[in-house]
A and B are shown apart, each in its own frame.
Chain A
Amino acid sequence: MPTNPYSANDVDASFNGRYVLGSELRVGGQGVVYRAKRIHDSAGSPCNNEVALKLHLDSKHDKRVEREIEAMRHLRHPALATLLEEGTITINGKQTRYIAWEFIDGEPLDARLSRGALSEKEVIRIARDVTSAIAALWSKRIVHRDIAPKNIMIRPDGRAVLIDLGGARHLDNTTITAPGVTFGTLGYFSPEQARAEHALTSSSDVFTLAVVLLECLLGRHPTYCDQHQLAVSPPSASTLVPTATKELRDAIDGMLQLRATFRPSVEGLHTTFERMAL
């Protein structure tokens, strides 16, 4: 389990009052995320907005992070957390990259799932919003690579937002990740992601979203996080949730095709889910 090497006081001091740290939201292999209040932007203009402040712990990924940032900088989408600011600070003498993301007010999907399965209507809404987010990312040649319940926030109005784009990879980054290394969450890898293939596309995110949707319908992970089964014999909505409408089952089964090119396009899926959500 990764631990946070920084104390909140050290981080606060390094930002010199520009950010006021709140609770620690998450610590992962790539970094630590705080809820924080952004008082001023880097130019000194007052902001006073809530952010998810991520400190990147691994300097080896700096080049990758830079390219992701460049690709994300101009991306604005209602179902994606917005990048507000990025830069480098010195904490305890160590140069550290930070990114301030829009703070999404709501409940993480994994927390919501701990209370049981979602209704079909709720699942369709999540599918509609997240396919829209995946399509927006893919329009910039970005693959999220870590679509899992922990990275989907449900706003109070029921709209879903995809967060934690720290593992997202832009096309240009293909060679920056070491061969055989993949990002994501075990139990939510697409077959090609599990094989650490290069050149992932939106199809990979489509697959993992289908796993999440099935989990929402079932109230548990469809393979109990058995990644091997996902990679060789993906679950079927028709078998696991026979009570769901055929259109939804067909859409999810299409998304779970083993061969990436046999999955429907994310744009087509979004249109389908949008229609179903009406």
Chain B
Amino acid sequence: MVVYFFNARLKFKIRPTKVAIPGSIIAASAISAVDLEKREFNSYPHLKKKLLDPQLYMATVDPALDSKTVARLAAYPWFHGMTVPKYKSGEHGTRTAWKKKHKEVFVSKWTRTAPTAPEAIRAAARAAVEFQIGLGCDGILLPGPLTTMADQTLQMELEWIEAGIKACLDLKTECPIYATIALSEAVLHVPALKNPLIHSLSNYVGARSELAGAYVVLEQTDPSDYFWTSKDPLMALLILVDDLARGAGKRVIVNYAGTFGLVAKAVGAEIWSSGYFLTQRRFSLKGQMGIAHPRYHSLAMAGDIGLKADIPRITQAGIVSKVMTPTGADAVLRTAVGQGKTPADVPEWRYAPNNCSAAQEHYLTIMSTVGALLEAMSPTQRQEWVLNWLMNAVKLVDLLEHKDLLGMATDTRHQQVWLDVFEEWTSYAKQ
């Protein structure tokens, strides 16, 4: 069993982590089909196991906001029934030339809807399954639309699941099959215990013996948050995982929950997937995100600490060791702050646009290490670990805030929410 997966986008290359990342989920929206087909996966240890997220739930992306993403998605044959022209090097030259040639047509024909006619759904689902088999994926993620406020009957969701299962059976794949459950944040802002959608979806997936489990994606409305801070959506996620894992005995992959994936793991998820960058930690339909700056991830604080001003302040207060999480990637930074220096004195950690390699390695090292740690524990030990981790994070945030050491760049709003949600789930699960 594996626990932590990397959210692979266009650039597959990452620095090696101390505990190897055992697998990746490739986002269709991040890489065009023609580029993906030529990739050498064996060159990347973290792609030893791989899944392709067909991201049908992104079918409503607005091309006016994000035409690049639309062009990449439309190059896959399961979006809006358009025949995707085959790439032929003799005819098209480079792949870049192929993409350039077809981009305008792809974008202009983008319907902003997933196929809805039964025949079109069947064809699209089959295309998505075939593509994943052809790519050598280790599991099949069935395409599924985003569940929104517009239609909560789940008619479309279930039709896509059925079509996907049929395609898998017809194509005789032996890979585990996961139904995609993609939930818009808008449908999750109701008390999770009374949210019929959650139970309906878990019930349906649980009742299908052909499915190994579910691939769960949460869409986050605010594109600027690295961490979920809303209680109801997080509780909904935990109930969904619990319903499926403990209730139906299914496997659950959680994506775009960021570090909260650790909590999902404690509740029963098999895999959680994330990455350092905002686009890898959460999913939003609101277009592209801005330029990334380095962020220091503190496991003790269950969040990221402002590198530019907050780390120096905490260092001056003499309690930086309480917040830092030692990894090979931050050794140089720890040494520097130990000598009274600031991140600005450490080139790899200087707060500058796109200067994220060390911060990324640091984050991924923490996630993969904790993933392996949790995996070695019993379910009860895992839950105790998560409870202690969150309680300590809340205390640490209180301490730092009390000493007035934190600015806007440090995430401090989610820790208490996560603890509350986990405690509420623990209490609910005992019933």
Write the residues of chain A forming the contact surface with B, with a CB cutoff of 8 angstroms. 138, 141, 171-172, 174-175, 179, 192, 195, 197-203, 259-262, 265, 267
Partner among A172, A195, A201 whose Cβ is within 8 Å of the Cβ of B204:
A201
Contacting pair B243 A259 (CB below 8 A): yes
Write 23 A-B pairs (CB below 8 A) sorted by A numbering: A174-B153, A179-B153, A197-B199, A198-B200, A199-B158, A199-B201, A199-B204, A201-B203, A201-B206, A203-B203, A203-B206, A259-B199, A259-B243, A260-B206, A260-B207, A261-B199, A261-B203, A261-B206, A261-B247, A262-B243, A262-B246, A262-B247, A265-B209
Q: Classify the interface of chain B: helix, strand, loop or mixed.
A: helix
Contacting pair A202 B200 (CB below 8 A): no
Of residues 216 to 274 in B, which have CB atoms within 8 Å of A's CB atoms?
A: 243-244, 246-248
Taking the nearest CB of chain B, how far is it from the CB of A273, in angstroms? 18
6 closest Cβ pairs, A-B complex: A261-B247, A201-B207, A261-B206, A261-B248, A260-B203, A262-B247
Supposing A171-B158, A174-B153 touch, asked if A197 and B247 sit within 8 A by C-beta, the answer is: no
Contacting pair B243 A195 (CB below 8 A): no
Contacting pair B154 A174 (CB below 8 A): yes
Taking the nearest CB of chain A, how far is it from the CB of B194, in angstroms? 9
Partner among B203, B243, B248 whose Cβ is within 8 Å of the Cβ of A199:
B203
Taking the nearest CB of chain B, how far is it from the CB of A222, in angstroms? 20
> Could you say which interface size class chain B belongs to?
20 to 34
Partner among A171, A198, A259, A260 whose Cβ is within 8 Å of the Cβ of B162:
A171
Supposing A197-B200, A261-B243 touch, asked if A203 and B153 sit within 8 A by C-beta, the answer is: no
A260 to B244, CA, bound (A): 10
B67 at the interface (CB under 8 A from A): no
Contacts of B154 in A (CB 8 A): 174, 198-199
Contacting pair B244 A261 (CB below 8 A): yes
Taking the nearest CB of chain A, how far is it from the CB of B178, in angstroms? 16
Contacts of B201 in A (CB 8 A): 199
Contacting pair B153 A198 (CB below 8 A): yes
Query: For residue A206, which residue of chain B has the nearest CB?
Result: B207
Taking the nearest CB of chain A, how far is it from the CB of B202, in angstroms? 5
B155 at the interface (CB under 8 A from A): yes
A141 to B161, CA, bound (A): 12
Known contacts A171-B162, A174-B158, then 11 further A-B pairs from the complex at CB < 8 Å, ordered by chain A residue: A138-B207, A171-B159, A175-B155, A192-B203, A198-B153, A198-B154, A198-B200, A199-B158, A199-B203, A261-B203, A262-B248
B290 at the interface (CB under 8 A from A): no
